[in-house]
Amino acid sequence: MSTHCFKPLTGQVGNIIDYVMDAPEVKPYHELAYALRLVTEEIVVNINNYAYTDKEKGYLIVSIEKKEDNLIMEFRDGGVPFDPLVKEDPDITLPLEEREIGGLGIFLTKKLMDSLSYNRVSGENVLILVKHITNKKKN
């Protein structure tokens, strides 16, 4: 299992993406590289933008684990309580001219991963993403 605490969080989005993509659990799965980069970017950018009122104190603990046929990614931050999964999905059937501009990142994350769960644990937001690694192409 790979785990790392990024503190402070400011300016670290690129480093966190690199950390995930270079993790020994992730690196062998070239066919998942696009999806895993995308979900990592979307989640980390969200946390970086919204979790902390005092950015200096912000941190994010990223853990990656391979368990049987699953790749499990955990994102743990100490920011304000925020469950990204309760937000309604954007209506992608609307004409482009009428689309809402927000909510696409978490929507893509839901589409690309096999399961997502959120819990508030001991003052931290814990978001867990799971991708089946035998099921190569979900989309």
Partner 1 sequence: MDNSFNVREEGSHLFVELQGRLDTNNAPLLMEKLSAYKGKGLDTVVFDATKLIYIASSGIRTIIFVKQKLGSNPKIVFFNCSDDVKNVFTMTGLQNYIDFKNK
- Contacts with partner 1 by CB under 8 A lie at 13-14, 34, 37-38, 41-42, 45, 92-93, 95-97, 99, 101, 104-105, 107-108, 111-112, 139
CB of 52 to partner 1, least distance (A): 17
CB of 1 to partner 1, least distance (A): 26
CA atoms within 13 A on the CB side of 65: 10
Rounded Cα distance between 39 and 45, Å, is 10
Going by DSSP bridges, is the β-strand pair 70-77/115-121 parallel, antiparallel, or unpaired?
A: unpaired
Query: Which CB, 96 or 121, lies closer to partner 1?
Result: 96
Query: Which CB, 14 or 28, lies closer to partner 1?
Result: 14
Query: Which CB, 31 or 83, lies closer to partner 1?
Result: 31
Query: Which CB, 3 or 18, lies closer to partner 1?
Result: 18
How many residues are given for the chain?
139
Q: In what order do the strands lie in the sheet with 70-77?
A: 2-6, 60-67, 70-77, 124-132, 115-121
Of 102, 81, 83, the C-alpha closest to 91 is: 102
Query: Which CB, 83 or 100, lies closer to partner 1?
Result: 100
